[in-house]
């Protein structure tokens, strides 16, 4: 049996980008403190439709994503999957990390600014 991620139906058929989109919608709704019903009404769709978007059973159209962003009071980019998920969906391997974090640059930047 394929592995499943909690709360995401049909994950075996979903691309990484679709998984991230569903998770982003669910996260932003939770952060906004809104119910499925409130979001559905704001997007002029059925409650079941929003639930399907959040579980990955269905993908929202571009206009639906715009309506979601307005209802959730967030930017469209907060809902859309990141570059890594899109690349993984296309079979592009992730770029190797340089192993350098921003905090490692902090001392150099602060000495320049002094």
Q: Which of 12-16, 36-40, 63-67, 68-72 has the lowest mean pLDDT?
A: 12-16
Kindly report whether the global pTM for this prediction surpasses the value 0.85: no
Return the CATH superfamily for domain 11-94: lambda repressor-like DNA-binding domains (1.10.260.40)
Under 8 Å between Cβ of 44 and 55? no
Is the pLDDT at 102 greater than 60, yes or no? no
Number of neighbouring beta carbons within 10 Å of residue 24: 22
């Amino acid at each position: 049996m394929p592995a499943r991620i909690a709360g995401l139906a049909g994950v075996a058929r979903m691309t990484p980008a679709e998984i991230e989109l569903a998770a982003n919608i669910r996260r932003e709704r939770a952060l906004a403190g809104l119910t499925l019903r409130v979001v559905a009404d704001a997007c002029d769709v059925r409650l079941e439709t929003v639930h399907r978007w959040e579980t990955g059973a269905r993908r929202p159209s571009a206009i639906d994503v715009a309506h979601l962003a307005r209802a959730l009071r967030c930017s469209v980019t907060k809902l859309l999957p990141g570059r890594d998920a899109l690349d993984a969906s296309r079979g592009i391997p992730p770029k190797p990390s340089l192993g350098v974090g921003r905090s490692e640059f902090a001392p150099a930047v602060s000495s320049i600014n002094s």
